[in-house]
Amino acid sequence: MQTQIISGNEIAKQILQDLKIAVSKLTVKPLLKIILVGNDPASQMYVKMKRKRGEEIGIVVDIINLNEATTTAELLSLISELNLDPKVTGLFVQLPLPSSIKEEEIIAAIAPEKDVDGMSPVSLGNLWHNNKSFASATPLAIITCLDYCSKLTGISLSGKHAVIINRSNIIGKPLGALLLQKDLTVTYCHSKTTNLEFFTKAADILISATGKAGMIKGNMLKPGAIVIDAGTSVSADGNVHGDVDWESVQGIASFVTPVPGGVGPLTITMLLKNTVVAGARNE
């Protein structure tokens, strides 16, 4: 069996082209406000990438830079102001926040209709109730990869067994809701799971987002499984690695996403797609 690579870069390129056309048809360009607190280099890089991609398709992206000393109360006040501003289409707070800020309060304060990264408890709750809601960008990116595989092979995802190694509010929980909406059978694994290999070998679709480099080996897979690597870690030499041991899964997995170049590029794309959808609702 030849393992096929799912190129997030290529899929994202086509989606961004479609979004650019959609934005050109809107009366008012969507406005995405990104709040960045502090001077974390990685966070600064991420928001710059989001602005660059957004501006390429016609979205107005405004980055609000706040200093490290910003308090929870000050940030909540700003979010309240942006929630009420009719010109603001989407609102995104770059994580992580400084330890002095109560992150959960901040996320919960974002208005659901502007929560284009689907991180608030209301957004997540709506997702589980099958109500109209924005889902987190990374789960949407993973679903997009799976839809790509289904379209390419002509094989439906319905009824397949998906194993998620992650139970976070940002990735695991919303992803499970999205997979259930597509009629998949979903199993969650996490750091306390015993005999992980028992579950991974039973997976038609394995999604790992642990940040532990190379933890998923080929001998842990069911032959022909689709493997989505949503984990990233940086080694001492500065190289980025995924959860999947790339060489050992070749010839065993039917499809696999690379790191970098897999889920990552699609995550930014899904945030922008949600922003365009929010803009279209305001027309």
Domain of 197, CATH number, reads 3.40.50.720
Q: Provide the pLDDT confidence category of residue 177 given band limits of 50, 70 and 90.
A: very high
Kindly state whether residues 174 and 226 are assigned to the same domain. Answer: yes
Annotation says 183 is catalytic: no
Q: What's the pTM?
A: 0.95
Measured distance CA(139)–CA(143) in Å, rounded: 6
Measured distance CA(175)–CA(135) in Å, rounded: 8
Kindly state whether residues 54 and 157 are assigned to the same domain. Answer: no
Annotation says 50 is catalytic: yes
H-type helices in the chain, by residue range?
A: 8-24, 41-56, 72-84, 103-109, 121-128, 137-153, 172-181, 196-200, 246-249, 263-281
Structural domain tally of the chain? 2
Domain that holds residue 101: 27-110
| Tens digits of residue pLDDT in 116-148 | 999 999 999 999 999 989 999 999 999 999 999
Options 114, 115, 117, 243, the catalytic residue: 117
In 3D, which of 43, 110, 104 has the Cα closest to residue 79? 110
Does residue 126 lie in a domain region? no
Does residue 129 lie in a domain region? no
Would you state the pLDDT for residue 108?
97
Options 33, 94, 173, 245, the catalytic residue: 94
Would you state the pLDDT for residue 282?
82
Given a contact cutoff of 8 angstroms between Cβ atoms, the answer to whether 221 and 206 are in contact is yes
Does residue 250 lie in a domain region? yes
Measured distance CA(178)–CA(164) in Å, rounded: 12
- Residues contacting 137, CB < 8 A, separation 6+: 117, 118, 267, 268, 270, 271, 274
As given in the structure block, the two tokens for residue 163 are: 């194993």
Options 33, 50, 114, 173, the catalytic residue: 50
Annotation says 94 is catalytic: yes
